[in-house]
Amino acid sequence: MGKWLALALASTLLIAACAGGQGSANAPHVILFIGDGMGYGSEVLASRYLHGSDTGLAWRGFPFQAWATTWDVDTYNAHAQAAGRAAYDEATFDPSLGYDSGLYGAEPWPLSAAADDIVHLNSAATDSAASATAMATGRKTDVGKIAWSRSGPSSPGGPLQTIAELMRGRLGSQVGVVTTVPFDHATPAAFVAHVSARSSYADIASQMTTVPRSDVVAGGGHPAWCAGYFGTAELGTLRSSPLWSLAERQAGVDGGLSLGAAATAAGDKGLFGLFGGADGSLETPVPANAPGSPFFTRNTENPSLPGMTVTAARRMSTAPGGFFLMAEQGDIDWANHANDLPRMIGAVCSLDEAVRAIEAWVDEPGDDVDWGNTILIVTADHATGIPRFSSSASFAAGEVPVRTGSAIPYSWTYAGGSVSYTTGGHGNELVTVAARGDRASQILEALVGKERPGTRILDDTDIYLAMRAFAGM
């Protein structure tokens, strides 16, 4: 047995022991927030807009704080080839080839100057499919694969069981996925579908709409606003499906109310929310340039991420086997790809609102959901855009920078300085892992630094191990 496989097995046994006592009388509630494309720099910029400080976002107050590596098999192999080393092998891989914390920092920039090697960070990086698969299944895979194992010399790969499927099959848990981008996009799909190519939207959508893998699905991709993610014929089938109570975007109708009404009417059916705008997403809240008084304009025909997340959690909260809920803010990634700083700020701030809304919901009395049987994790699948800025320059709350330049990578200026994107693609930076819940720190601390002793670094596959341990499996 390879040393890293042995170490992973030992860690699994340790965290399983930490999770002891989980039983049917105390059903687990696992809530995972993913900020797609949200590097730490994006967090800082959004926090400055909201609070005028760098650490004001909700999850920065969680008791557990760490960082995660996000590399996938393709990233590893690119670095291995450059170093003259062997390609990825699950039993014998060297984690430092995925991300070398000695060279590039045990914390992300701007916390670590060592993490500012843009050439290295941009040379190879994961995509949302492979990273979401790592969190959903605990396995590394190739770019573009969704809950599907990596290809090898003698194998095309195959389906990988996800944490959602595991909880549903073993515990009878309900499963929900909500997202601000098309519902059949890579991140939500990785928890409830299996394909070898993330672009197989028709196949993904079919799995998510015709097979009862989920109890709640909500996101974008409505064909009346954006073609390419979900067909009109398939929408007709969904409308008449006995499996779902459907809420759709309608002109002039509040999307949050529509989703709530569909939840109330669902009975024994699943809840499906199909919304979206011109690019398939739910249209990001737009931050106003109002120094000292940050606020946002919103399109209410789409539900908000806080509204979708709480509606989904409330819908599943009485399940005897608990629930698994993944909520993605996918517009962060789309905004950073376009170097669109205001949209990125609006997207991160909506994630902040959603996390605060779920915290308030868990705190509500009168139900069986509390911090003793709930784990709430906030992370990112990878960084996108890698914005750089002066860490000391002033940035007033409510101030929106102004774009300069005519092509990606764009720069943005504000009264105290400027923000410069370094790429329109993904980066291999460390990303946030924050968690709360009565046993969250106990479980996650068993995984911190297991591959990189002396650091606060996890791997994205460790998020799967932590969720599985919390569920008592």
Report the C-alpha gap between 183 and 209 in whole angstroms.
Answer: 10
Q: Which two tokens stand for residue 423?
A: 């790429």
Q: Residue 75 in contact with residue 419, Cβ under 8 Å? A: no
Which of 120-124, 338-342, 381-385, 423-427 is least confident? 120-124
Dihedral sign computed on CA atoms, order 402, 350, 304, 184: positive
More confident residue, 390 or 282: 282
Question: CB neighbours (10 Å) of residue 156?
Answer: 10
Report the C-alpha gap between 324 and 118 in whole angstroms.
Answer: 36
Please give the C-alpha separations between residue 128 and each of 2, 189, 227, 345, in angstroms, as whole numbers: 28, 10, 21, 20
Report the C-alpha gap between 375 and 440 in whole angstroms.
Answer: 6
Q: Residue 271 in contact with residue 315, Cβ under 8 Å? A: yes
Q: Residue 376 in contact with residue 362, Cβ under 8 Å? A: yes
Locate tokens 């002039």: which residue? Answer: 252
Q: What is the 3-state composition of the chain as percent helix, strand, coil, each rounded to the nearest 5?
A: 40, 20, 45
Q: Residue 285 in contact with residue 298, Cβ under 8 Å? A: yes
Report the C-alpha gap between 115 and 103 in whole angstroms.
Answer: 8
Report the C-alpha gap between 14 and 365 in whole angstroms.
Answer: 33
Dihedral angle of Cα 73, 77, 80, 85, to the nearest 10 degrees: 100
Residue 392's pLDDT is what? 64
Report the C-alpha gap between 257 and 194 in whole angstroms.
Answer: 32
- Give the containing element (helix H, strand E) for 431: strand 431-436
Q: For 109-122, what is the mean pLDDT?
A: 89
What predicted TM-score, i.e. pTM, was given to this entire model? Answer: 0.94
pLDDT in tens, 179-225: 999 999 999 999 999 999 999 999 999 999 987 779 999 999 999 99
Q: Which of 340, 351, 398, 395 is nearest to 377 (CA)?
A: 351
Residue 335's pLDDT is what? 98
Please give the C-alpha separations between residue 228 and each of 195, 200, 220, 224, 279, in angstroms, as whole numbers: 17, 11, 12, 11, 10
Helix (H, G, I), strand (E, B) or coil at 435: strand
Q: What percent of the chain is predicted at pLDDT more than 70?
A: 94
Is pLDDT above 80 for 265? Answer: yes
Locate tokens 């050439």: which residue? Answer: 119
Is pLDDT above 70 for 276? Answer: yes
Residue 11's pLDDT is what? 46
The single-letter code of the amino acid at 264 is: T
Q: Residue 238 in contact with residue 272, Cβ under 8 Å? A: yes
Q: How wide is the angle at C-alpha 251 spanned by C-alphas 250 and 257, nearest 5°? A: 55
pLDDT in tens, 10-63: 444 344 434 433 333 489 999 999 999 999 999 999 999 999 899 999 999 999
List, in order of start, the domains of the chain with CATH numbers. 31-470 (3.40.720.10)
The single-letter code of the amino acid at 347 is: A
Strands 244-248 and 270-274: parallel
Residue 405's pLDDT is what? 84
Q: For 378-383, what is the mean pLDDT?
A: 98
- 409 upstream amide cis, omega within 30 of 0: yes
Per the prediction, the chain carries an average pLDDT of 92
Residue 199's pLDDT is what? 95
Residue 336's pLDDT is what? 98
Which of 77-81, 337-341, 378-382, 403-407 is least confident? 403-407
Residue 134's pLDDT is what? 98
Q: For 356-370, what is the mean pLDDT?
A: 96
Q: For 351-359, what is the mean pLDDT?
A: 98
What is the DSSP-derived secondary structure letter of residue 378? E
Q: Which two tokens stand for residue 428?
A: 């291999």
Report the C-alpha gap between 67 and 430 in whole angstroms.
Answer: 6
Is pLDDT above 80 for 155? Answer: no
Q: For 407-416, what is the mean pLDDT?
A: 90
Locate tokens 């060297």: which residue? Answer: 94
Residue 15's pLDDT is what? 41
Q: For 161-181, what is the mean pLDDT?
A: 97
Q: How wide is the angle at C-alpha 185 spanned by C-alphas 198 and 463, nearest 5°? A: 90
Q: For 446-471, what is the mean pLDDT?
A: 97
Which of 6-10, 267-271, 274-278 is least confident? 6-10
The single-letter code of the amino acid at 437 is: G
